[in-house]
């Protein structure tokens, strides 16, 4: 690559290779650290919301630019109803500003990512499938 190409920001690598080179896995590392921090805050009881103490972090996904982190939550009790799940998500949404500032400080990020919380239905679907399969196995016997 010539000096001129370097100054103009051009690269000898094709566009796809440059994009792959930039992605170093940092979003996954940040997501893992956010999950650790949120889980430890729940265990230490740092959230004043009673519903937050009955929650577990089931999934965390960060965007490539680390501006947004999506956090999947579910209740510890697998029999918790929709109202309980909604209360857990609402509790975390109310505490989002506090959580964002704490995570930004703990992770040493220049800009703390926005946190969006949702009810992770993956475990609920898996339990329902197991129930259906168990029912089919009993019918076959």
State residue 94's pLDDT score: 95
Task: Set out the domains of the chain in order of their start, with CATH numbers.
Answer: 25-140 (3.30.300.20)
Strand partners, 73: 57, 119
State residue 2's pLDDT score: 59
Closest by Cα among 68, 60, 58, 79 to 122: 58
Neighbour order of strands in the sheet with 114-119: 55-62, 68-75, 114-119
Mean pLDDT of the chain: 84
- Is 40's pLDDT higher than 60? yes
**In percent, how much of the chain has pLDDT > 70?**
78
Contact indicator for 88, 54 with CB cutoff of 8 Å: yes
* CA separation for the pair 100, 105 (Å, rounded): 9
48-81 tens-digit pLDDT: 888 988 999 999 999 999 999 999 999 988 788 8
At 113, list the tokens: 């990512």
């Amino acid at each position: 690559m010539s000096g001129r190409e370097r100054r103009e920001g051009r690269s000898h690598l094709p566009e796809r290779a440059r994009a792959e080179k930039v992605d170093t896995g940092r979003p996954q590392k940040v997501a893992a650290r956010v999950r650790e921090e949120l889980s430890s805050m729940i265990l230490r009881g740092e959230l004043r919301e009673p519903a937050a103490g009955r929650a577990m972090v089931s999934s965390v996904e960060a965007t490539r630019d680390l501006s947004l982190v999506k956090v999947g939550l579910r209740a510890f009790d697998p029999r918790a109803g929709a109202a309980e799940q909604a209360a857990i998500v609402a509790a975390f949404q109310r505490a989002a500003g506090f959580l964002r500032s704490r995570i930004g400080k703990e992770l040493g990020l220049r800009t703390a990512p926005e946190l969006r919380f949702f009810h992770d239905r993956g475990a609920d679907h898996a339990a329902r499938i197991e129930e259906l399969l168990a029912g089919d196995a009993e019918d076959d016997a």
